[in-house]
Chains A and B, each alone.
Chain A
């Protein structure tokens, strides 16, 4: 044990490999390997009757998703919804995150953090069916909006509300952490230099918190992009996740080909997010 210890001490590279071997090995072999397996199917065909995957390499599936309008419509619809949800969550999350990080007393802060985290333990499915019930014509939302003279929200608005609801805690926490890290001395200095609170917020706080917002947006964007339960349940609409899910058994190659779209979108998003410093803010 001692000899291994001193060997490792003198060979930092050896330590590094020892540390990284397990996690990287796991992720590369199990995760990337599985992804590769799935994506290989995108270049293959299905046998019509049995849905078996037949390995003749071709690009027909890509042709299909590029030619058939519905795939483009679904992709754009999903990305647009993801963007709107991210925006809504950022706006909703900021006040409470700011309050928790900079205004609330420590005791209140603790309670608020628990209050934000607890709903994450409420089952995704139960919340999904609760929103489904709430958005129906005779459901909670209509009952609530009735006195205000508003009718039940349409399918799309209902879905947007639901997504916003689901991913909100994922946006609040990174922003809270990011805001907490800003030293008070910076904000005081800004005040000392003559800026009023709004200007300080706009010029100092917001830019410093921006990476945290981007970090949170990774989750809100990605979770909306791939969800296949809520769009069908709430809005009877096809999103990228639902199309992939529906095609997965009868036509896995097409599903795999279409799955490339969210992968590419998220990879680009992650690269941009890293540039904006989001990884350090997670």
Chain B
């Protein structure tokens, strides 16, 4: 009998051994990083990707055998109307995954399962630092030559002189309000912050929204001396967080990149009367039958915005199709289509002539650089304030922790 008892213990012991062995293996073996390499690229990163053709002809050939491209996108960036044309021209099927937010996109790219991403400025630098994306060889994307100069060589898409993607287009975060509930000439963020529409707010659900609070404080509390809403020191940050905590009970419903339809519905029913939005939703609201009675505007205090960049994964499984997509999406015809569909300013100058609405580029200020002066593109908050304050600014980690606390 004692022999039998021995055996039973051995059985349990085997299980424990397996677990320990696994722990040991993973601790000593590969990295526990979510990113791919152990070294961080600091200088002259290579644009080479395994399997990528050396010239345009080779790329086109190899793309046919690849047959598909896996992209992480903002919903609406790869609608069938132009994705189908791309597939017909290149033989690459377009498979997409919508990111709910920039965090989501960084996370998805970290899995290594995707070829490319349309990253906003608050995602690009993180992706570059994690080594998930490769610099782009612009010789292989000829349409890049026609992109507006104002979108090239920006801090969020160029590192150490190397460009990491092709600019997609840009847009502002807008104030949207019900025309019958707020005065027609409303041009300020005040209703979103001062409690006059308490219980009826529709707000973007992401830590980056702290920057919007900072933008408002920049205009209304100049003694805080906020210059860049993404570079907030402790005092400025606390003020923004306080403002957001005051706003929290006034919010009727949050929205993000997966709940556009909800925002449309809440504005239609009047459950929300004012909030932040993207032109995409205002287009949807206008397309309702009957149209939702809203107006949208860039408020006088300025606003946050986004300038998106198409980037390619360093370990892309379909690099040739991805390069063809990057070139295609900034080609005049496709860029015009997506700019109109989503409601943003195109990145290619020649697209302006091809939009269905001839006034599109004017309406969206595609060539008016002055208009974008008070649009603060999404950026990644880091400790280095970038000015004489030094390294005291709050990091994205702080923003995330604060957001959790604000939501309560």
Direct contact of A and B (CB under 8 A): yes
Q: Is the CB of B129 within 8 A of A50?
A: yes
A41 CB within 8 Å of chain B: yes
A51 CB within 8 Å of chain B: yes
A24–B259 Cα distance when bound, in Å, is 41
Q: Is the CB of B396 within 8 A of A236?
A: no
B266 CB within 8 Å of chain A: yes
Q: Is the CB of A236 within 8 A of B22?
A: no
B224 CB within 8 Å of chain A: no
A222–B397 Cα distance when bound, in Å, is 29
A32 CB within 8 Å of chain B: yes
**Residue on B with the closest CB to A71?**
B404
Picked from B130, B205, B253, B404, the residue with its CB within 8 Å of the CB of A52 is: B130
Q: Mark A48-71, 1 if CB is under 8 A from B, else 0.
A: 111111010000000010001110
A204 CB within 8 Å of chain B: no
Picked from A25, A28, A33, A49, the residue with its CB within 8 Å of the CB of B126 is: A49
B408 CB within 8 Å of chain A: yes
Picked from A48, A50, A137, the residue with its CB within 8 Å of the CB of B130 is: A50
Q: Is the CB of A70 within 8 A of B404?
A: yes
A33–B23 Cα distance when bound, in Å, is 7
In the complex, chain B residues 55-74 whose Cβ is within 8 Å of any chain A Cβ: none
A49-B129, A138-B268 in contact; A251/B18 too (CB < 8 A)?
no
Q: Is the CB of B404 within 8 A of A136?
A: no
B405 CB within 8 Å of chain A: yes
In the complex, chain B residues 376-390 whose Cβ is within 8 Å of any chain A Cβ: 380, 382-383
Q: Is the CB of B404 within 8 A of A243?
A: yes
Q: Is the CB of A247 within 8 A of B404?
A: yes
B34 CB within 8 Å of chain A: yes
- Inside 8 A of B270's CB, which chain A residues have their CB? 137-138
A41–B26 Cα distance when bound, in Å, is 12
Number of A-B contacts (CB under 8 A): 117
In the complex, chain B residues 1-59 whose Cβ is within 8 Å of any chain A Cβ: 4, 7, 11, 15, 18-19, 22-23, 26-27, 32-35, 40
Picked from B110, B253, B265, B395, the residue with its CB within 8 Å of the CB of A48 is: B395
A46-B397, A136-B269 in contact; A233/B259 too (CB < 8 A)?
yes
A20–B14 Cα distance when bound, in Å, is 12
Q: How far is the CB of A45 from chain B (nearest CB, A)?
A: 10
**Residue on B with the closest CB to A33?**
B22
Q: Is the CB of A44 within 8 A of B396?
A: no
Q: Is the CB of A48 within 8 A of B7?
A: no
Interface of B is mostly: helix
Q: Is the CB of B395 within 8 A of A251?
A: no
- Inside 8 A of B262's CB, which chain A residues have their CB? 132, 136, 233
Picked from A33, A44, A248, the residue with its CB within 8 Å of the CB of B107 is: A248
B260 CB within 8 Å of chain A: no
Interface of A is mostly: helix
Q: Is the CB of B271 within 8 A of A137?
A: yes
Picked from B4, B32, B253, B404, the residue with its CB within 8 Å of the CB of A246 is: B404
A46–B396 Cα distance when bound, in Å, is 12
B297 CB within 8 Å of chain A: no
A33-B22, A36-B19, A52-B33 in contact; A249/B103 too (CB < 8 A)?
yes
- Inside 8 A of B23's CB, which chain A residues have their CB? 33, 36-37, 40
A248–B111 Cα distance when bound, in Å, is 13
B400 CB within 8 Å of chain A: yes
Q: How far is the CB of B149 from chain A (nearest CB, A)?
A: 28
Picked from A13, A29, A50, A132, the residue with its CB within 8 Å of the CB of B7 is: A13
- Inside 8 A of A133's CB, which chain B residues have their CB? 265
B401 CB within 8 Å of chain A: yes
Q: Is the CB of A44 within 8 A of B408?
A: no
B104 CB within 8 Å of chain A: yes
Q: How far is the CB of B123 from chain A (nearest CB, A)?
A: 11
A252 CB within 8 Å of chain B: yes
A46–B126 Cα distance when bound, in Å, is 13
A36-B19, A53-B34, A250-B400 in contact; A68/B405 too (CB < 8 A)?
yes
A110 CB within 8 Å of chain B: no
Picked from A24, A48, A70, A236, the residue with its CB within 8 Å of the CB of B251 is: A236
B407 CB within 8 Å of chain A: yes
Q: Is the CB of B4 within 8 A of A13?
A: yes
Q: Mark A61-104, 1 if CB is under 8 A from B, else 0.
A: 00010001110010000000000000000000000000000000
A217 CB within 8 Å of chain B: no
- Inside 8 A of A36's CB, which chain B residues have their CB? 19, 22-23
Q: Is the CB of B383 within 8 A of A48?
A: yes
B240 CB within 8 Å of chain A: no
Picked from A25, A52, A68, the residue with its CB within 8 Å of the CB of B34 is: A52
In the complex, chain A residues 5-20 whose Cβ is within 8 Å of any chain B Cβ: 13, 17, 20
**Residue on A with the closest CB to B17?**
A28
Q: How far is the CB of A231 from chain B (nearest CB, A)?
A: 11
A252–B397 Cα distance when bound, in Å, is 11
Q: Mark B177-202, 1 if CB is under 8 A from A, else 0.
A: 00000000000000000000000000
25 contacts between A and B (CB under 8 A): A28-B18, A29-B18, A33-B19, A33-B23, A36-B22, A40-B27, A49-B126, A50-B40, A51-B34, A51-B110, A51-B130, A52-B130, A55-B32, A68-B401, A68-B405, A69-B405, A70-B404, A70-B407, A236-B253, A246-B404, A249-B104, A249-B107, A250-B103, A250-B400, A251-B401
8 more A-B residue pairs beyond the given contacts A136-B262, A247-B404, with a C-beta to C-beta distance below 8 A: A17-B11, A33-B19, A52-B130, A136-B271, A236-B407, A250-B396, A250-B400, A251-B397
The 4 closest A-B pairs by CB, nearest first: A249-B107, A138-B269, A137-B271, A33-B22
